[in-house]
Structure 1
Amino acid sequence: MPQKVFAPWEDQDEKPLIRFRDVTKRFGDFTAIDQINLDIYAKEFFALLGPSGCGKTTLMRMLAGFETPTEGVIELAGQDIAPVPPNQRAVNMMFQSYALFPHLSVWENIAFGLKREKKDKGTIETRVSEMLKLTRLEKFARRKPHQISGGQRQRVALARSLAKAPKLLLLDEPLGALDRKLREETQFELMDIQEKTGTTFVIVTHDQEEAMTVASRVAVMDEGKLMQVATPDRIYEAPSSVYVADFIGDVNIIEGKAHQTGDRLQVDWAEGQPALSAKTTDDYSLGQTCYLAIRPEKVAISAERPTGANVLQGEVLDIAYLGNISTYHVKLPTGHVIKAQQANTRRIARRPFTWEDKVWISWSETAAVVLNQ
């Protein structure tokens, strides 16, 4: 029996856990959040992604209750949360600094919130044991935060945040302090814990790889606006704008003028160069400005001229060797630089191209995404 795909946002009958309705937040003359409408569903691992200053942390702080909207309504499980103080919301927040109590043991840090709620001793013991097991910290229960590693401290902060069984856990750049390898391992641990607990996670990050790895859906933000909200594969393969295409991963953007016949688009992009062709379901008027977004891994590079659409000649300007892949920066006679990627299936000594080599680059009609903004 095929496994049911988790996609509550596609179900008309599913009610969102969190609903932002026409939410605006101003600080004096500065608009941090600009009329945002957004639904987040129960059990989602939702990522708010964008550069510094795009408004993602402000959005999270409004959910936590540290800021109130200037206009609009935020609902949690159908209730307007504006009048509910932060400590009475079914929401917990895990800070970037982890904010652990240095004088308390791991066990006491996790129990802290439960003790404040005057839970009985048996309940606290059981819940802390569950959290230690979930985050694989049983062996470290009696240690103080300074006696464990950064990755373990991160898990203590997570265990403490989940101990009170919140409906919603907010994570503010939670992996920022970890080194790359540990961060990647911890991403999968976070996903595993989120799935086991069924808690809705909302993570704020500027790290696109992190968002694409952990999230069921990603909201790409810029200057207080939502640019696109979609699953990671849709954001990558079908970006809604040049901004999103450029923000997520590596991309080649070519601007040109449209000439459309049915679903085929010819793009005039440079004097004396053949038109480029792409497929699109959108309608473009004759001469309308459009943009082709082509991911480097979809661009082939060869010494001989290939057959097919979108074949251009240039020379190798730069090579970025990343172990598993090499990215070739190919300069065209027009001055455009196109990135083409190849998997390094052979030893480095057998690299087929080097600097200043004349090469052909090509891509299929379906490889480019056509964008109008």
Structure 2
Amino acid sequence: MPQKVFAPWDDPAEKPLIQFRNVTKRFGDFTAIDNINLDIYTREFFALLGPSGCGKTTLMRMLAGFETPTEGTILLSGQDIGPVPPNQRAVNMMFQSYALFPHLSVWENIAFGLKREGKDKATIETRVHEMLKLTRLEKFARRKPHQISGGQRQRVALARSLAKAPKLLLLDEPLGALDKKLREETQFELMDIQEKTGTTFVIVTHDQEEAMTVASRVAVMDEGELMQVATPDRIYEAPNSVYVADFIGDVNIIEGRAHQAGDKLQIDWAEGQPALFAQTDKNFDMGQTCYIAIRPEKVAISAERPQGANVLQGKVLDIAYLGNLSTYHVQLPTGHVVKAQQANTRRISRREFTWEDDVWVSWSETAGVVLDK
């Protein structure tokens, strides 16, 4: 039986859990959030991604109730949460600093919110045990936060946030304090926990790899606006603007003038250089400025001139060796630098290409995305 794909945003019958309706937030003259409309669905792991100061944390703080919109409404399960104080929302927030109580044990930290709600002892016992099991912390229940590692403290903060079974958990740069290897391991743990609990997670991050790994959908933000909201593969393979293409992963962007013939686009981009060709379903005016974005892994590098739609000659300027991959920075006669990536599939004692080598770079008509802005 085919597995049902999780895509509630494509189902017109699905009701969003969270709805931002024309939400604007100003601080004095500064507009932090500019007329945003956004739907987030139950069980989603949703990422707000963007550079510092793009408004992602403000958006999250409005969901938590620490900020109120200047204009517009935020609905949670169809209810306007504007007037609801933070402690009465079915929302919990996990802070970057974890904010654990140093004098309380792991067990007591997790139980804290439940005790404050006046839950009975048996309920608290059961719930804390569930959370310890979920986050694999049973062995550490009696320890204090300073007696466990950073990764374990992160899991305690998560267990404490989930103990009250919120409909929505907000995570503010939750893995920022961990080293790279631990961060990668913890990303998968987070996804696992999110799936097991069925809680909707909204994560704020400026780390694109993190967003692309954990999220069902990603909202790329810039200067208080949503630039694109889509699944990670769509954001990577079909960015809607130069900004999004450039923000996610590595990319070559070449500016040129459009010259359309059917679904094929000819791009005239430099004096004395062959035109580039791409397939697109967008319509461009004759001579309109356009941009072609090609990922380095879709660019081939060769010593001999290859056959193909887009073939350019240049010199190897730089080589980045990343173990599994080598990225060649090839400078064209125009001064443009094109990055081409090769997988290092076998052990070799020497590279095929080295600095200053004359090489050819090439890519197919379908490898690039043509953008108009």
Tell me the TM-score normalized by structure 2.
Answer: 1.00
Separation in 2 of the partners of 1:89 and 1:141? Answer: 28
The whole-number CA distance in structure 1 between the counterparts of 2:288 and 2:120 is: 69
Q: Distance in 1 between matches of 2:224 and 2:349?
A: 48
Match of 2:20 in 1: 20
Alignment partner, residue 154 of structure 1: 154
Residue 345 of structure 1, CA deviation: 1.3
Pairwise CA RMSD of aligned residues? 0.4
Partner of 1:138: 138
**Could you say which residue in structure 2 is the equivalent of 1:188?**
188
User: How far 1:85 sits from its partner (Å)?
Assistant: 0.2
Give 3-state SS (helix, strand or coil) of 1:350's partner: coil
Q: Deviations over 1:88-146 (max 9, x none)?
A: 00000000000000000000000000000000000000000000000000000000000
Aligned to 2:219: 219
Which amino acid in 1 is paired with 2:128?
V
Match of 2:11 in 1: 11
- Tell me what 1:369 maps to: 369
Q: Distance in 1 between matches of 2:319 and 2:361?
A: 15
Q: Which residue of 2 aligns with 1:36?
A: 36
| Structure 2 match to 1:205 | 205
Alignment partners' CA distance in 1, 2:42 and 2:251 = 33
Whole-angstrom CA distance in 1 between matches of 2:348 and 2:172: 40
Q: Which amino acid aligns with 1:213?
A: T
CA distance in 2, matches of 1:183, 1:217: 20
* 1:350-370, Cα deviation, whole Å (9 max, x unpaired): 310000000000000000000
Residue in structure 1 matched with residue 260 of structure 2 by the alignment: 260
After superposing on structure 2, the runs of 4+ consecutive aligned residues of structure 1 that deviate more than 6 Å are none
Q: Distance in 1 between matches of 2:171 and 2:258?
A: 43
Equivalent residues in 2 for 1:1-150, closer than 5 Å: 1-150=1-150
Deviations 1:295-327 (A, max 9, x none): 000000000100011000000000001111000
Q: Within 2, Cα distance between the matches of 1:26 and 1:282? A: 36
Distance 1:132 1:350 in 2: 51
SS in 2 for 1:349: coil
Read off the aligned partner of 1:177 and give its amino acid letter.
Answer: A
Corresponding residue number in structure 2 for 1:310: 310
Amino acid corresponding to residue 172 of structure 1 in structure 2:
D
Asked whether 1:340 is paired with 2:340, we answer yes
Structure 1: runs of 5 or more not aligned: none
Where 2:312 maps in the other structure, the secondary structure is strand
Q: How many residue pairs align between the two structures? A: 373
The amino acid that maps onto 2:327 is T
Write the distance in 2 (CA, Å) between the matches of 1:358 and 1:290: 28
Q: Which amino acid aligns with 1:26?
A: R
Q: Distance in 2 between matches of 1:208 and 1:250?
A: 11
Task: Tell me how far 1:349 sits from its aligned partner.
Answer: 2.0
The alignment-based identity, stated in percent, is 88
Q: In 2, distance between residues paired with 1:86 and 1:214?
A: 26
Unaligned 5+ residue runs, structure 2?
none
The residue type paired with residue 361 of structure 1 is V
Deviation at 1:348, TM superposition (A): 4.7
Residue 356 (str. 1) matches residue 363 (str. 2): no
Alpha-carbon displacement from aligned partner over 1:15-51 (angstroms, at most 9, x marks no partner): 0000000000000000000000000000000000000
Equivalent AA in structure 2 for residue 87 of structure 1: N
Q: Alpha-carbon deviations, 1:46-71, whole Å to 9, x = none? A: 00000000000000000000000000
Q: Give the aligned partner of residue 164 of structure 2.
A: 164
Q: How far did residue 336 of structure 1 move?
A: 0.3
Match of 1:236 in 2: 236
Question: Helix, strand or coil for the counterpart of 1:155?
Answer: helix
